[in-house]
C-alpha cells in the first residue's frame, strides 16, 4: 500500500507556512478596516451557474479549470474558482442593493484545476476586496491604494510594480474586439490552438496566453487606446490623475487584461519578478455590468484579489514566535498541580507547554524541542515548600521562586529572563 500523500496541487499548511499565511490575512484585514471595508465570507461551493454566467462559459476557467460535481440531490455545484461572483450573489440573495455603497473584505480558499507551479496550486487561498455601488473613478483609486498599502504593510512594496490598463466601456470594447479579430485572423497560423479558439470566442483572452508564440503575435496588436471612446478615456485619465496625486507609481501596460470576462474600464495588477513566470500577486479591476448580469440591479463595482501563497513567499520567514514556558511536573502530586500552574501562567499572557508524560529527561527533551525559554519544575519537595524550580534553558542556571496566589514572585523571575 502506497504512503498517503496530499492530492497533486494541494499542500499542507504546516506551522511555519501557516504563520506566514496568517500574517498576510491579519495584515490585510487590519488595513482594509482603515478604509472602511467590512469582512464577509461566502460558501466554498455555489450553484454552478453562479460562476458560469459571469465568468463566461468559453473561458479557460469554466471550460477547463472548475471543480464541478453533482451532489446527492442532483444539484450541479462548483467549488469556487474566484470570489467576486460569490460576493455579488450574496449581495443579491441578501437584498443588500439598497445599502450601497458596500465595501467588503474576504479571505479563504479557491479551487482551479490547472498545472501546479511555483506559487500556484489547485487549492489556493486569496484575500480580496469588493467596492460595489460607486461609479466614479474614486472607487478604483481607493481599492488600488488599499492594495498598495497592504503590500507596504507586508514589507514588499519595493518588490512589486503596479501595472495599469483600461478595458473601456462596452462600446469601446466591442470596437476593439473587431479590430483584434481582423489582426489575429491574418496571423492565425502563428497562434496556439487555444488562442485560435480564443480568437473565435473572445480575442482579448489571447493577451492572457503564456505561450511564447502567442505573446510574440500579441506584441504587435493594435493598441486599445486607438479605440477608446471619449468617456472611457476621460475615466481612465481620472484614475491615473488620482493615483498621481496620492504618489502611487504605476506603469501603463496596454496588453494587460484580466482573466475574467466581466471586467470593464480599469484593469490593474501588482507584479513581481521574484516568483518566476507567474508574477502577478494582486490583480483586479472594474466590473460595472456584473451585478445586473447575475440578475441584480444595475450596480457598478470594482475590486481585486491577491494570492496568499505568493504574498507569503515574498514576505519570507517571520521573526520567531515568543518562546514558551515549559511546565514540567515531577512525581504524582505534581501531575495534578502542573495543569493548574500552566493555566494560571496563561491567564497572565504567558505561552505555556505542558509536559504530558514520561520521566524528567523525556520531558526536558520536549521542552528543548519546543524551544522553551525556561522550564518550571514542580516536584513533591517544591509542593511541600510552596516553591517552583526555574531552569534557564539557555544558560542551564537553576534557582527557586516562591509561589503566591498572584504568582508575583514567579512572574518577576520570568520577566528577568525575558520569558
Count other Cβ atoms within 10 Å, centred on residue 247.
8
Written as nine digits, the cell of 303 is 475590486
- pLDDT at 260 exceeding the cut of 80: no
d(CA 300, CA 143): 14
Cα angle 296-300-302, degrees, rounded to a multiple of 5: 120
Confidence of residue 197 (pLDDT cuts 50, 70, 90): confident
Question: Which residue in this structure is represented by grid cell 491577491?
Answer: 306
**pTM score, two decimals?**
0.87
CATH superfamily of domain region 15-169+229-315: Bira Bifunctional Protein; Domain 2 (3.30.930.10)
Say whether pLDDT at 357 is over 80: yes
End-to-end CA distance of the chain: 47
d(Cα 269, Cα 148) in Å, to the nearest integer?
10
203: Cβ contacts below 8 Å, ≥ 6 apart: 177, 180, 181, 184
pLDDT band at 416 (very low <50, low <70, confident <90, very high): confident
d(C-alpha 294, C-alpha 49), whole Å = 9
CA distances from 139 to 79, 166, 266, 293 (A): 29, 15, 11, 21
Highest mean pLDDT among 91-95, 226-230, 255-259: 91-95
Residues in CB range of 369: below 8 A, 6 or more apart: none
CA–CA distance, 225 with 222 (Å, rounded to integer): 9
What SS3 state is found at 330? strand
pLDDT score of 154 = 97
Contacts of 16 (CB under 8 A, 6+ apart): 317
- Rounded Cα gap, residues 58 and 261, in angstroms: 10
Alpha-carbon gap, residue 109 to 127, rounded angstroms: 9
Q: For the segment 123-153, what is each residue's pLDDT rounded down to a tens digit?
A: 999 999 999 999 999 999 999 999 999 999 9
Looking at the chain, the domain(s) classified CATH 3.40.50.800 span 325-416
Check residue 11 and give its pLDDT: 92
Taking residue 97's Cβ as centre, other Cβ atoms within 10 Å add up to 16
pLDDT of residue 99: 94
Is 325-416 in CATH node 3.40.430.10? no
Dump pLDDT digits (tens) for 36-57.
999 999 999 999 999 988 776 6
Q: Which three cell numbers stand for residue 139?
A: 472607487
Q: Which range, of 196-210, 237-251, 315-329, 339-353, averages the lowest pLDDT?
A: 196-210
**pLDDT for residue 294 is more than 70:** yes
Nearest alpha-carbon partner for 301 in 314, 317, 288, 312: 288
Amino acid at each position: 500500500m502506497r504512503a498517503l500523500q496530499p492530492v497533486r496541487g494541494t499542500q499542507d499548511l504546516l506551522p511555519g507556512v501557516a504563520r506566514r499565511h496568517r500574517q498576510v490575512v491579519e495584515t490585510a484585514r487590519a488595513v482594509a478596516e482603515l478604509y472602511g471595508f467590512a469582512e464577509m465570507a461566502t460558501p466554498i461551493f455555489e450553484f454552478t451557474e453562479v460562476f458560469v454566467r459571469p465568468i463566461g462559459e468559453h473561458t479557460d476557467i469554466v471550460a477547463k479549470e472548475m471543480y464541478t460535481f453533482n451532489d446527492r440531490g442532483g444539484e450541479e455545484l462548483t467549488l469556487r474558482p474566484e470570489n467576486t461572483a460569490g460576493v455579488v450573489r450574496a449581495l443579491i440573495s441578501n437584498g443588500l442593493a439598497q445599502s450601497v455603497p458596500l465595501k467588503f473584505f474576504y479571505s479563504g480558499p479557491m479551487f482551479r484545476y490547472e498545472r501546479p507551479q511555483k506559487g500556484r496550486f489547485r487549492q489556493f487561498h486569496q484575500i480580496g476586496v469588493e467596492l460595489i455601488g460607486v461609479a466614479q473613478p474614486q472607487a478604483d483609486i481607493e481599492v488600488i491604494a488599499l492594495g498598495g498599502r497592504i503590500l507596504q504593510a507586508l514589507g514588499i512594496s519595493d518588490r512589486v510594480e503596479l501595472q495599469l490598463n483600461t478595458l473601456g466601456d462596452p462600446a469601446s470594447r466591442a470596437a476593439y474586439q473587431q479590430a483584434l479579430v481582423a489582426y489575429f485572423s491574418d496571423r492565425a497560423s502563428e497562434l496556439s490552438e487555444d488562442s485560435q479558439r480564443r480568437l473565435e470566442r473572445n480575442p482579448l483572452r489571447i493577451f492572457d496566453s503564456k505561450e511564447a508564440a502567442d505573446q510574440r503575435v500579441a506584441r504587435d496588436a493594435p493598441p486599445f487606446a486607438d479605440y477608446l471612446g471619449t468617456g472611457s478615456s476621460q475615466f481612465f485619465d481620472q484614475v491615473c490623475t488620482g493615483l498621481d496625486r496620492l504618489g502611487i507609481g504605476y506603469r501603463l501596460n496596454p496588453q494587460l487584461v484580466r482573466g475574467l470576462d466581466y471586467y470593464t474600464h480599469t484593469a490593474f495588477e501588482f507584479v513581481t519578478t521574484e516568483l518566476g513566470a507567474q508574477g502577478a500577486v494582486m490583480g483586479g479591476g472594474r466590473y460595472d455590468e456584473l451585478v445586473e448580469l447575475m440578475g441584480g440591479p444595475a450596480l457598478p463595482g470594482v475590486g481585486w484579489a491577491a494570492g496568499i501563497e505568493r504574498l507569503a513567499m515574498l514576505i519570507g520567514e517571520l521573526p520567531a514566535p515568543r518562546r514558551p514556558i515549559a511546565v514540567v511536573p515531577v512525581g504524582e502530586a505534581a501531575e495534578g498541580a502542573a495543569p493548574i500552574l500552566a493555566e494560571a501562567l496563561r491567564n497572565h499572557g504567558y505561552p505555556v507547554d505542558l509536559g504530558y508524560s514520561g520521566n524528567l529527561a523525556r520531558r526536558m527533551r520536549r521542552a528543548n524541542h519546543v524551544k522553551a525559554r525556561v522550564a518550571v519544575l514542580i516536584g513533591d519537595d517544591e509542593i511541600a515548600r510552596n516553591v517552583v524550580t526555574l531552569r534557564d534553558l539557555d544558560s542551564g542556571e537553576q534557582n527557586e521562586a516562591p509561589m503566591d496566589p498572584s504568582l508575583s514572585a514567579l512572574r518577576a523571575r520570568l520577566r528577568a529572563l525575558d520569558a
